[in-house]
Chain A
Amino acid sequence: MASALSESRISTEHIPVKLVIAGPFGVGKTTLVDALSEIKPLNTEEVLTQAGTLVDDLTGVNEKTTTTTAIDFGRLTMPGVVLYLFGAPGQTRFQVLWNELVRGALGVLVLADTRRIDDSFAVLDLVESAGLRYAVAVNHFPDSPDYPPDALRQALDLHASTPLVVCDARDPVSARASLIALVEHIKELVLS
């Protein structure tokens, strides 16, 4: 069993809050969570039935009809708050799990890859239809084409006020800037 000893301590005064990192397969969700998290990557499992619903009592949990999926999970302990980051699986067959992960989240950072921008549409639709606050971070890969921001906005059909940032999910400074853009945006929405 891993020890939680070496990490920043959470106190009973800390308020837990959460942000969700979403995006299609291979876009960099795990990389971004790991770049920012103060704790070693922890693997937590969710148990789903074949039908894609969450198992929430233990009857039948060991049966062949269940399947597990690992969730990226990170933590940042700050004065007064402990921020949890959840990487949400992109597959739409995990919709029920998705709904659970975003419930209670301050907002969602949607990752996109300009080499296959269409892959982010399904996630954007989910986020928008759930009325979630979100920002888009384009994760830049070496062979990613460089589109002007306006063209990207148009391709993603983003509202003028939705933040669009370019990031390198491997770089903590860049990953952090994406989260700051998201939280600034959430603040503006709450104040408006």
Chain B
Amino acid sequence: MTSGRQRRRVVPDYMAAARLTVPENVHVERTTLVYIAPDAATNGLDPPGSHLLTLLRDGPLSVYECAAHLGLPYCVVRLLVAGLVGSGTLLTRDPPATDLPDIEILELVLSGLRAL
């Protein structure tokens, strides 16, 4: 029976059951850029993994964009990405630390905004 109170599932059950974890020393956050490692073996992935690779064929995307395109919550895609980074399939580019932002980066943002 369905009712208005019934919740839709946030992730497919098989993923929820997989107990994915972030491998130690893999750092993934919302704006981390991810891309396919040049020498990656890209076959034999489960469906979300192969969707992710299809998405990244045209170049890097942030983890958050991957989540939106895959239609999965960030917490799920973060684990998916971390697993594929751990296995060497994906590489990442982290956002720089911001306690003292790099002036050159701020200048790039300013000139980029002004050129819009």
The secondary-structure label for the interface of chain A is mixed
Complex Cα distance, B108 from A83, in Å, reads: 10
**Contact string against A for B residues 54-74, beta-carbon threshold 8 Å, 1 for contact and 0 otherwise:** 010011111011011111011
B2 at the interface (CB under 8 A from A): no
Q: A16-B33, A16-B93, A54-B75 are in contact. Are A79 and B108 (CB under 8 A)?
A: yes
B1 at the interface (CB under 8 A from A): no
- Is B31 a contact of A18 with CB atoms below 8 Å? yes
- Is B108 a contact of A18 with CB atoms below 8 Å? no
Chain B positions within 8 Å of A183 at CB level = 106, 109-110, 113
Q: How far is the CB of B48 from chain A (nearest CB, A)?
A: 11
Which of B60, B65, B94, B95 is in CB contact (< 8 Å) with A42?
B65
A residues with CB within 8 A of B: 1-2, 4-5, 9-12, 14-18, 36, 39, 42-47, 54-62, 64, 66, 68, 73, 75-76, 78-84, 86, 100-101, 103-106, 172, 176, 179-180, 183-184, 186-187, 190-191
A and B contact pairs by CB, cutoff 8 A, 17 listed: A10-B60, A10-B61, A11-B59, A17-B109, A18-B30, A45-B10, A47-B73, A57-B79, A61-B11, A61-B76, A62-B13, A78-B109, A83-B113, A101-B30, A104-B29, A183-B113, A186-B101
